[in-house]
Chain A
Amino acid sequence: GAGVSQSPSNKVTEKGKDVELRCDPISGHTALYWYRQSLGQGLEFLIYFQGNSAPDKSGLPSDRFSAERTGGSVSTLTIQRTQQEDSAVYLCASSPEALAAYEQYFGPGTRLTVT
């Protein structure tokens, strides 16, 4: 079956502009995660969804970052007034449930470059 997809694969934007990143999880997966990975670094947890709700938003770096998920499926991560330090690869992952026992399935990521 289809895996996790993300769009766009690459995004170049000017500082101060808003961007939207999209994630399509595997069908039937109730848990969805967003991570950020700066060049050569590990993964920084941003937010997770169980269904449409996001119980923990504490990983979002600032109030310029927001995310939503509709219909228990597609999720959008929005970054307002982008800054150069927002440049990174944004990864989305899904799993059958938001429990510790499951592996995560990752999308290919969106490489964001803020000029």
Chain B
Amino acid sequence: SQQGEEDPQALSIQEGENATMNCSYKTSINNLQWYRQNSGRGLVHLILIRSNEREKHSGRLRVTLDTSKKSSSLLITASRAADTASYFCATVSSGTYKYIFGTGTRLKVLA
């Protein structure tokens, strides 16, 4: 299976609520990145967290990383309809070039 596995696979919430999605991986990493994809096209980078970091914020996004559990979470606060998209985690192992993407979480924010 892929290095990154997100859960849940799909999430539906009301506008204004918070959305949390999780990513688990299997091997040691250099960093973990989260991406957003709208309408099955190009991905947009959201945030990168390095293996020696535990938490990172960017606007309404909060990412945590637990290397002992090999897991990460992405929290979107005060969600908006425009946040409706698929969210992917990508892990990068030390000394490598390869980004391994998970299967994604499909988020739907209802207005």
Contact = CB atoms under 8 A, between A and B. Distances in A.
15 contacts: A37-B40, A42-B4, A42-B101, A43-B43, A45-B98, A45-B100, A45-B101, A50-B97, A89-B41, A99-B97, A100-B95, A104-B33, A105-B45, A108-B41, A109-B40
Interface stretch (B55-63, B69-77, B86-94): B86-94
A21 interface: no
A91 B101 CA distance: 13
A42 B2 contact: yes
Contact of A101 (B4, B31, B40, B100): B31
Given A91-B43, A108-B41, A109-B41, A100 B94 contact: yes
B88 A42 contact: yes
B82 interface: no
B96 interface: yes
Contacts of B14: none
The 5 closest A-B pairs by CB, nearest first: A100-B30, A106-B42, A100-B92, A98-B97, A43-B101
A103 B88 contact: no
B88 to A, nearest CB: 7
